[in-house]
């Protein structure tokens, strides 16, 4: 039965990443408040937030310090922009702190409002800088199949997921997609992870050679692929990829939107996975999602090229009204202060073993083909046949079914294709991790019973 509030929602709100045809019949889950790692719907039912919202609410709900940081800044200076040589202390202080934490030698930080805007900016900077350096042909950017880099025209083109391209007339020219580093799905028979990584690096090398190294400017990668299904590359993947990029003078853009600020037990996923990025995109956990803010961290040589070109043109013609918004910047600063004061990295590293142990144990479940993850993020891929890795018929929407049962059990997780992803707030406790996996196991058991009753495993 759809409630009045759900009907009003369906009549007025255009929902991202939803089936717009079925949503009015099913009704949205309408949340009213949050406390710690739990959120509560309008009927008062609690749900353990197993996705940290959308990979972002690191400190959980009810952090009064962040509320006060926003309120104090609103009272003092609720808005100021960074256009035409204007600035303000929160943006300056935040940029200084980000330079200190950066996984690469940083010169400056460009602020925006979302990971999509950050990666859109990355593409524009690649083009602008190569024009400034007298390399007008060196413009192509290589992403990867199953990558997720956003939904603007440019960033959705970088994204390597079909539903972000179909009928949006994407990708735009100049974007290529290399192989996905998912050993479970894309390794050849008997191919070790080491051999798989070697092959992917060789394929990237061949792709750059075929395109012409003088035309390829950058390679963009999430340390761990998030919305593509929580795909963790082989251990030697990035060092091998890095060698190819260096050979052809191709930049490495690290998309740290999900992995940044502690998700993998380090400040940045680049550090955890041995990446050496030229530039970095940040968002999400930067403010623990209490305010929209994102950014791009750039090195000296890019800053110098931008400066020379803007002198030639007369202006650096890029930016957003809310770039470095003082309230969002103040909240982000306070978030980073809390991370350091509460030693969030130590807490995360302390609970990772228990989280990963419970995750990997789900690999024995009859429905699970692979239980994968690293740090405090993971996924279980559901299969019709564990031996052959055969997937369920897509029309069965098996992961969505499991996510629905999880919601019934009081757990919020997310379906990505046939995988169920898990990404809890960084402040989750060991007891809450056990509760999360107890509820997820119950949901998988219910999904298994449903699959048997519906003969869903039939080829």
* pLDDT for 254: 98
List the 368-374 sheet strands across, edge first.
368-374, 377-382, 419-422, 414-416
Mean pLDDT of 153-174: 97
Mean pLDDT of 157-179: 97
Q: Are residues 243 and 193 in the same domain?
A: yes
Q: Are residues 8 and 119 in the same domain?
A: no
Q: Which of 303, 308, 318, 444 is nearest to 369 (CA)?
A: 444
Q: Are residues 241 and 382 in the same domain?
A: no
**Both structure tokens of 327:** 């309230």
Domain assignment present for 167: yes
* pLDDT confidence bin for 397, thresholds 50/70/90: very high
CB neighbour class for 69 (10 Å; exposed up to 12, middle 13-18, buried from 19): buried
Domains in the chain: how many in total?
2
* pLDDT for 69: 98
Asked if 118 and 282 count as a contact pair (C-beta separation under 8 A), the reply is yes
* pLDDT for 2: 85
* pLDDT for 98: 98
* pLDDT confidence bin for 86, thresholds 50/70/90: very high
Look up the CATH number of the domain holding residue 53: 3.90.1150.10
* pLDDT for 201: 98
Mean pLDDT of 109-128: 98
Q: Are residues 185 and 303 in the same domain?
A: yes
> What is the residue-averaged pLDDT of the chain?
97
pLDDT at 345 over 90: yes
Length of the chain: 459
Q: 146-181 as b/e, with b when 16 or more CB fall inside 10 Å?
A: bbbbbbbebbbbbbbbeebeeeeebbeebbbbbbbb
Report the C-alpha gap between 113 and 104 in whole angstroms.
22
* pLDDT for 447: 98
* pLDDT confidence bin for 241, thresholds 50/70/90: very high
Asked if 355 and 435 count as a contact pair (C-beta separation under 8 A), the reply is no
Report the C-alpha gap between 262 and 268 in whole angstroms.
6
Domain boundary among 341, 365, 394: 341
* pLDDT for 1: 79
Mean pLDDT of 56-78: 98
* pLDDT for 160: 98
Half-sphere exposure for 39 (CA within 13 Å, toward CB): 19
Sign of the four-CA dihedral 53, 57, 59, 63: negative
* pLDDT for 55: 98
Domain boundary among 341, 368, 398: 341
- Expressed as residue numbers, the domain containing 13 is 4-62+343-453
* pLDDT for 247: 98
Domain assignment present for 201: yes
Q: Are residues 262 and 359 in the same domain?
A: no
Q: Which of 99, 150, 146 is nearest to 122 (CA)?
A: 150
Report the C-alpha gap between 22 and 45 in whole angstroms.
23
Domain assignment present for 367: yes
Report the C-alpha gap between 2 and 6 in whole angstroms.
6
Mean pLDDT of 391-410: 96
Domain assignment present for 247: yes
Q: Are residues 240 and 384 in the same domain?
A: no
**Both structure tokens of 378:** 């993971």
């Amino acid at each position: 039965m759809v409630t009045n509030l759900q009907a009003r929602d369906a009549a007025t709100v255009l929902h991202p990443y939803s089936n717009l045809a079925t949503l009015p019949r099913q009704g949205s889950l309408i949340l009213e408040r949050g406390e710690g790692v739990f959120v509560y719907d309008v009927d008062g039912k609690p749900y353990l937030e197993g996705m940290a919202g959308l990979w972002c609410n690191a400190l959980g709900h009810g952090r009064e310090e962040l509320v006060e940081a926003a309120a104090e800044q609103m009272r003092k200076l609720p808005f100021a922009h960074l256009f035409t040589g204007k600035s303000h202390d929160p943006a300056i202080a935040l940029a200084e702190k980000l330079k200190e934490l950066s996984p690469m030698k940083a010169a400056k930080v460009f602020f925006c409002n979302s990971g999509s805007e950050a990666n859109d900016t990355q593409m524009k900077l690649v083009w602008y800088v190569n024009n400034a350096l007298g390399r007008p042909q060196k413009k192509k950017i290589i992403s990867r199949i199953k990558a997720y880099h956003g939904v603007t025209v440019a960033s959705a083109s970088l994204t390597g997921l079909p539903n972000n391209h179909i009928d949006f007339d994407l990708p735009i020219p100049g974007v290529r997609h290399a192989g996905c580093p998912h050993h479970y799905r894309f390794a050849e028979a008997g191919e070790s992870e080491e051999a798989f990584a070697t092959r992917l690096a060789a394929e990237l090398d061949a792709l750059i050679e075929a395109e012409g190294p003088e035309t390829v400017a950058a390679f963009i990668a999430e340390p761990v692929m998030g919305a593509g299904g929580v795909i963790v590359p082989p251990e030697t993947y990035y060092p091998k990829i890095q060698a190819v990029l260096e050979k052809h003078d191709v930049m490495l853009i690290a998309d740290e939107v999900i992995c940044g600020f502690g998700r993998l037990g380090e400040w940045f996923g680049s550090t955890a996975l041995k990446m050496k990025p030229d530039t970095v995109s940040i968002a999400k956990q930067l403010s623990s999602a209490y305010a929209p803010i994102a950014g791009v961290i750039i090195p000296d040589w890019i800053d110098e090229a931008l400066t020379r070109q803007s002198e030639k043109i007369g202006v650096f013609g890029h930016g957003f009204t809310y770039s470095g918004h003082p309230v969002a910047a103040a909240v982000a600063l306070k978030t980073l202060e809390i991370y350091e004061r509460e030693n969030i990295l130590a807490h995360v590293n302390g609970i990772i073993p228990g989280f990963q142990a419970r995750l990997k144990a789900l690999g024995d479940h009859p429905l699970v083909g692979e239980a994968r993850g690293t740090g405090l993020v993971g996924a279980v891929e559901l299969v019709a046949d564990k031996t052959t890795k055969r997937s369920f018929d897509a029309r069965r929407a098996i992961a969505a079914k499991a996510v629905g049962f999880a919601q019934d059990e009081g757990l919020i997780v997310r379906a990505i294709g046939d995988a169920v992803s898990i990404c809890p707030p960084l402040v989750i406790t060991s007891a809450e991790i056990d509760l999360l996996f107890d509820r997820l196991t119950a949901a998988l058991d219910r999904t298994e019973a449903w699959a048997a009753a519906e003969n869903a495993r039939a080829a």
